[in-house]
Amino acid sequence: MRERGGGRIINLASIGGLVVDGERSSVYGASKAAVVQVTKNMAYEWGRYGIRVNAIAPGYMRTAMTTDLLPDRAEEDRLVATHIPLGRIGEPGDLAGA
């Protein structure tokens, strides 16, 4: 990228890397916080070469990994009411194009 005069890197983080997200999330949260921090450092170090480094950090998404977080409609409604201003759980297609 440096030789070409620039480029773009987009990392996939998570809201879990920015906030404490309940029990049993420490390892996941720490790994996503590392993605957030390495993105900041890379942006700082490589920006002078025209290399833009950013991350997207989605919130709750309906995936196989989150099945245990959303065991029933009542729990999903609670999460939405307390954490999600959009008013719904994200769908993988919501990230298309990002």
* pTM of the entire predicted model: 0.81
Q: Is the predicted pLDDT of residue 22 greater than 80, yes or no?
A: no
Give the up-direction half-sphere exposure of residue 80: CA atoms within 13 A in the CB hemisphere.
14
Mean pLDDT throughout 56-84?
Answer: 86
The mean predicted confidence, pLDDT, of the chain is 91
Q: Quick check: 68 pLDDT over 90?
A: no
User: Which residues does 31 contact at the CB level (< 8 Å), separation at least 6?
Assistant: 17
Evaluate whether 56 touches 14 at the Cβ level (below 8 Å).
no
CA distance 97 to 77: 27
Give the pLDDT score at 10. Answer: 96
DSSP state of 49: G
R_g of the chain computed on alpha carbons: 16
E-assigned strand segments in the chain:
7-12, 51-56
Residue partners of 83: CB distance under 8 A and separation at least 6: 59, 60
More reliable by pLDDT, 63 or 6: 6
Residue 69 has pLDDT above 80, yes or no: no
Domain residue ranges in the chain: 1-58, 62-89
Has 28 been annotated as catalytic? yes
Catalytic choice (28, 44, 49, 60): 28
